[in-house]
Amino acid sequence: MDGDTKTSWVSGYADRQWLQVDLGAGAVIHRVILTWGAAYAKAYQIQVSDNKKAWTSLYSTNSGKGGVEELTVSGKGRYIRLYVMAHGMFSGISLAEFQIYGVAGGLSVTPTTESTPVAGATPTAEATSTVEVTPTAGITPTAEVTPTVESTPTEESTPTVGITPTAEVTTTVGTTPTVGTTPTVGITPTAEVTPTVGITPTVGTTPIVATTPTAPAGWHIIWNDEFNGAVGTGPDGNKWVADVGGGGWGNQEREYYTKSDNAKQDGNGNLVIEARKENPANYQCWYGTCQYTSARLTTLDKFDFTYGRVEARIKIPSGQGIWPAIWMMGNNIASVGWPNNGEVDIFENIGREPSTVHGTVHGPGYSGANGIGGPYSLQSGKKFADDYHLFAVEWNANQIAFFVDGNKYFTVTKTTVEQHGRWAYDHPFYLLLNVAVGGTWPGDPDGSSTYPQKMYIDYIRVFQQG
């Protein structure tokens, strides 16, 4: 990064970490060279962005070998980052050199090293790594600009961008979940920006009571639940069925999902899913006598659809170990199993990341720690549990786009997915809502956790075009 392979950037142990560079201006990028230390990434991506929100993957692998990797890429953007999904050693990863080549408006690029937070998932420690790179105006390289084997840079006129912080910086973003049948998240953003539909989200602290939702232009509503039932009534049995049990759901979760006790309408236009620290009926879990109860609702055998827009206005709970989500599963799960049926996590949050949610897809060849997804973070220390937010996906035959409050932050395309495995999103999917407690990704509750914790769902709506 600084031309000295004896120094390096060192990550924390956990996966889903990144090193990000601001090139100072838009650049066309042709080549990247990674010089790994002893600890390397097994699964990683090279991504670019114009705004640090929507990211496009230029390169992706699940079989990194370490050493020196020279990558031919093609793309453009102001920001570039190395996004690590899985490390290849028992420690985190270390990177001695991150060299970037391309054309940056005829400007040479002079690296500066500044340790500042990266926009994205909230780390559990304060140390994060963003390296700001400032172009030197008015300098047009006509000979070698970087100490590389390139003799006369013509197209590759951007010098190697040095990225070593002056001290080793450790970034910890999360732990790797195990593979299971509830939403397991391996966060691997591969963003491709496409035009968004003109939809004005409504956020805030007050639920909206509406019996006739309005469809966005060009769309029509095919299913919805506004949760306008009387206080204390359960979910509509014509629309929802409760999953019941405490087997851990493939993720070592600690709650017991009850049939209906933990999901009630509040009379103010919300369905409330409540996680409690209790065991009123001697429920038994995978680890012994259950300590928590909650609810998980699905539309399996009630409603499914192929392609469209799903949006849900939700105020999430908070606290260490809390894991709220709205997601979709392929309805052929009984015949093909998970992840062959496909899974789309419209949003997930883990309590230790109060300002960040994740959108992810899982399928054959890219599930669990290798799922394909991306984070969205609120700015200025705001927390998702403080207000209602609008979470949405738009799904068609070629891509799935993820939104928060009308902001599209991540798009996964069929082309990107098929670099890893089969596109499993060409058949009907059903909806799921749940609040898990504990598990391999969020970790278990601790002394800071308080109960009950409530997720307020104002509405869920499904639209199709035409």
Average pLDDT for residues 84-103, to the nearest whole number?
76
d(CA 174, CA 187) in angstroms, rounded, equals 10
- 120 and 232 assigned to the same domain: no
The catalytic residue among 97, 255, 274, 343 is: 343
Angle CA 412–415–421, to nearest 5? 90
Residue 437, pLDDT above cutoff 90 = yes
**319 inside domain:** yes
Task: Band the pLDDT of 158: cuts 50, 70, 90.
Answer: very low
Say what the pLDDT of residue 258 is: 97
- 132 and 223 assigned to the same domain: no
Q: Is 168 a catalytic residue?
A: no
Give the count of domains, the chain.
2
**159 inside domain:** no
- 132 and 254 assigned to the same domain: no
Task: Band the pLDDT of 71: cuts 50, 70, 90.
Answer: very high
Pick from 16-20, 80-84, 144-148, 267-271: least confident:
144-148
- 82 and 227 assigned to the same domain: no
- 97 and 237 assigned to the same domain: no
**Tens-digit pLDDT profile for residues 418-428:** 999 999 999 99
- 224 and 345 assigned to the same domain: yes
The residue from 94, 119, 136 where one domain ends is 136
Amino acid at 15: D
Amino acid at 42: K
Mean pLDDT of the chain: 79
The residue from 136, 161, 196 where one domain ends is 136
- 264 and 383 assigned to the same domain: yes
- 129 and 235 assigned to the same domain: no
**39 inside domain:** yes
**Tens-digit pLDDT profile for residues 193-231:** 333 333 334 445 545 444 568 888 899 999 999 999 999
Alpha helices (runs of H) in 262-390, residue ranges in sequence order: 333-336
| CB-CB contact of 409 with 403 (8 Å) | yes
SS (H, E, C) 355-408: CEEEEEEEECCECHHHCEEEEEECCCCCCHHHCEEEEEEEECCCEEEEEECCEE
What is the tally of helices (H) and strands (E) in the chain? 2, 27
The catalytic residue among 253, 274, 348, 394 is: 348
**183 inside domain:** no
d(CA 425, CA 396) in angstroms, rounded, equals 8
Amino acid at 386: D
Task: Band the pLDDT of 188: cuts 50, 70, 90.
Answer: very low
- 116 and 242 assigned to the same domain: no
Within 8 A by CB and 6+ apart from 331, the residues are: 300, 304, 341, 427, 428, 429, 430
**239 inside domain:** yes
CATH number of the domain where residue 258 is located = 2.60.120.200
- 109 and 250 assigned to the same domain: no
Say what the pLDDT of residue 5 is: 61
- 127 and 230 assigned to the same domain: no
Structure tokens at 412: 């996964």
Residue 174, pLDDT above cutoff 80 = no
d(CA 400, CA 344) in angstroms, rounded, equals 9
- 105 and 250 assigned to the same domain: no
Q: Which one, of 306, 330, 327, 356, lies nearest residue 120 by Cα? A: 356
Q: List b or e across 120-153, with b for residues whose CB sees 16 or more CB atoms inside 10 angstroms.
A: bbbbeeebbbbbebebeeeeebeeebbeeebeeb
Q: Which one, of 173, 82, 190, lies nearest residue 125 by Cα? A: 173
d(CA 341, CA 374) in angstroms, rounded, equals 21
**161 inside domain:** no
d(CA 286, CA 302) in angstroms, rounded, equals 29
Domain that holds residue 409: 219-465
Backbone angles phi, psi at 211, to 5 degrees: -100, -20
**360 inside domain:** yes
**427 inside domain:** yes
CATH number of the domain where residue 89 is located = 2.60.120.260
* Residue 275, burial from CB neighbour count under 10 angstroms (0-12, 13-18, 19+): buried
Q: Is 394 a catalytic residue?
A: no
The residue from 104, 136, 168 where one domain ends is 136
Peptide bond into 452 cis (omega under 30): yes
Average pLDDT for residues 371-387, to the nearest whole number?
95
